[in-house]
């Protein structure tokens, strides 16, 4: 599943380092944490681009100022790893931070708006500033496995609504576009999908707003009734509250339970939404299951994301829809 990390730009500032060789080794270890071990693995991390993107601009400036060629090469590799997983966060203070202490304070304030799983800062800032237990760590601790135990491409939440909604937090906080698929949305599996939609449209002011929310589902024996359409329309209307355009796609029978998320304002060459992340579920909260049961959820890798996007949005798939998409306008 996705976890969010904030870094202070000064971690990549050479002028603040006492021992360059030790710093280079820390950069190497940080880089290994920021990207998957194997090419086909999904990346379970996103990096907070704090203060409306000023964080990334300052990071670039500090990288350009690195004199040691070994450190500069590692810093550029870190930048490449970060570029692919940046998520924008609004500024919490008018003044632009220029120190590790300032950026740490900004990160902690942003965490109050929407939780960040870990803030990594300089040793001095970690010593000088206080925050809730387990939130902050420094580069000296980068190899401590306990500090990374929250990072995993899989999760097994219990069949409780609040727990499953929280497990999907980075998606409903940061995505402009979300699609969720369940064959039983119109019967026993609507609770999680509706709550994710509610959370996404009421995210904290300043975060980029959700633009579209799609639901994909089926009906028993492919027999579509007017009451199914009206029920689906009503559930989406109640959950989005007129704040976002939502669509309901009713397909011939499928068995997938997935979430796809990304940027609806950008499209691929075939005109479909650009999807950045995906999750597959074996089960989600259901009227038919006990709260003591556990589900198995898995973050999709890049190829799986593409396959699922084409399954629901490929131009050759429209023939399997039982009716045109049911649109609930903003």
Q: Are strands 118-121 and 136-138 parallel, antiparallel or unpaired?
A: parallel
Between 90-94, 253-257, 262-266, 289-293, the lowest mean confidence (pLDDT) is in: 262-266
Q: Count the neighbouring beta carbons within 10 Å of the beta carbon of residue 42.
A: 21
What digits encode the pLDDT tens for the residues 191-204?
A: 999 999 999 999 99
Beta bridge partners, 177, equal 212, 262
Mean of the pLDDT values across residues 160-179? 96
> Which domains can be identified in the chain, with CATH numbers?
3-148 (3.40.50), 154-328 (3.30.870.10)
- Nearest residue to 257 via CA among 284, 276, 275: 284
Q: Which pLDDT does position 28 carry in this prediction?
A: 96
Residues 273, 177 contacting (CB under 8 angstroms): yes
Helix then strand then coil, in percent of the chain rounded to 5, is 40, 20, 35
What digits encode the pLDDT tens for the residues 46-83?
A: 999 999 999 999 999 999 999 999 999 999 999 999 99
Between 19-23, 236-240, 246-250, 289-293, the lowest mean confidence (pLDDT) is in: 289-293
């Amino acid at each position: 599943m996705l976890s969010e990390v904030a870094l202070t730009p000064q971690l990549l500032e050479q002028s603040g380092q006492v021992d360059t060789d030790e710093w280079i080794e820390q950069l190497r270890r940080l880089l290994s944490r920021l990207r998957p071990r194997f090419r086909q693995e999904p990346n379970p991390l996103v990096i907070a681009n704090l203060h409306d993107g000023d964080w990334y601009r300052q990071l670039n400036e500090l990288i350009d100022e690195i004199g040691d060629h070994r450190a500069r090469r590692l810093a550029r590799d870190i930048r490449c790893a970060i570029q692919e997983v940046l998520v924008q966060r609004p500024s919490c203070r008018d003044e632009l931070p220029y120190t590790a202490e300032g950026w740490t304070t900004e990160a902690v304030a942003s965490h109050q708006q929407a939780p960040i799983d870990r803030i990594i800062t300089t040793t001095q800032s970690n010593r000088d500033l206080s925050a809730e237990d387990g939130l902050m760590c420094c580069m000296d601790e980068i190899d401590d496995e306990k500090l990374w135990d929250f990072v995993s491409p899989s999760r097994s939440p219990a069949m409780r609504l609040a727990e499953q909604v929280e497990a999907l937090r980075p998606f409903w906080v940061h995505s402009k576009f979300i699609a969720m698929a369940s064959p039983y949305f119109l019967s026993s599996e609507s609770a999680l999908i509706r709550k994710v939609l509610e959370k996404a449209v009421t995210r904290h002011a300043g975060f980029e707003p959700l633009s579209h929310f799609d639901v994909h589902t089926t009906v028993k024996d492919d027999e579509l009734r007017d009451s199914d359409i009206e029920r689906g329309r009503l559930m989406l209307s109640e959950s989005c509250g007129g704040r976002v355009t939502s669509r309901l796609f009713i397909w011939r029978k499928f068995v997938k339970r997935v979430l796809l998320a990304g940027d609806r304002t950008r499209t691929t060459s075939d005109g479909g939404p650009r999807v950045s992340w995906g999750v597959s579920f074996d089960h989600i909260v259901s009227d038919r299951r006990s709260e003591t049961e556990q589900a198995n959820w898995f973050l999709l890798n890049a190829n799986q994301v593409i396959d699922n996007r084409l399954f629901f949005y490929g131009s050759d798939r429209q023939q399997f829809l039982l009716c045109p998409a049911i649109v609930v306008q903003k």
